Amino acid sequence: MANSRFVHRRLYRRYEPTHGARHQHMNRTRRHPLTVDVVVPDSHGRITRIPPAYVSMSLRRMGPRFYGNPSYANCKLKVGDTEFWGHELFLSWKAQYFRDVFAAVHNDQYHSDVVIEDADGMLTGLPVITLPIEQCRSFDFVEMLYWIYTGDDDRWLSTFNGDNIDVIASNIERLGMTEEARALCRRFTSQ
């Protein structure tokens, strides 16, 4: 455990502005400033800052193990008549829509797209989220969901075509997905 705290702290120090001529030069040559969105208290109550790039990389590495896996799933996603297992951490990391839905669920607030699952007359407490997305024959939500979990740009991009690019772009906007998803649409249209 001490080792993981060290890694997190070391990664943060590498990116935070520091004093000294050598470090100031390194910070000036960095292309994009890093914003820290994730903070974790360590065992002594100190806050450790984790760069978003590190979190994103870790989620991508874990994504294939969690994708489609009911273990630790804390929701179901419903698209048409098909349901998929969902994990809040992955979904919320990539889309504002899911952050809003899970905030409502955690605060016991009503959300029009969420129903608490009822299995054989027993409430299981698992939210079923009916996604407000457009569908067309060539649009495959499975590939979008796989990308959310793994960040596999090439796999998702290979499903884009002239017939479905407008629907994909519309769904990216509806879900408030990250700039990475919008960049993939731009990458396809510029080809």
Higher pLDDT, 83 or 138: 83
The number of beta carbons lying within 10 Å of the beta carbon of residue 176 is 14
Please say if the pLDDT value at position 29 is more than 50.
no
The pTM score is 0.72
What does the pLDDT look like over 43-59, one tens digit per residue? 776 767 777 888 889 99
Closest residue by Cα to residue 162 from 145, 144, 139: 139
What is the C-alpha separation between 76 and 125, in angstroms, rounded?
Answer: 11
> What is the percentage of the chain residues whose pLDDT exceeds 90?
43
- pLDDT-derived band at 39 (thresholds 50, 70, 90) equals low
- pLDDT-derived band at 38 (thresholds 50, 70, 90) equals low
What is the C-alpha separation between 111 and 99, in angstroms, rounded?
Answer: 12
pLDDT of residue 191: 77
The secondary structure of the chain, three-state, reads: CHHHHHHHHHHHHHHCCCCCHHHHHHHHHCCCCCCCCEEEECCCCCEEEECHHHHHHHHHHHHHHHCCCCCCCCEEEEECCEEEEECHHHHHHHEHHHHHHHHHHHCCCCCCCEEEEEECCEEEEEEEEECCCCCCCCCCHHHHHHHHHHCCHHHHHCCCCCCCHHHHHHHHHHHCECHHHHHHHHHHHCC
What is the C-alpha separation between 59 and 23, in angstroms, rounded?
Answer: 29
pLDDT of residue 82: 87
Residue found by looking up tokens 């955690």 in the block: 106
Domain residues of the chain, as ranges?
2-50, 60-189
What is the C-alpha separation between 22 and 123, in angstroms, rounded?
Answer: 59
- pLDDT-derived band at 184 (thresholds 50, 70, 90) equals very high
| Architecture (CATH level 2) of domain 60-189 | 2-Layer Sandwich (3.30)
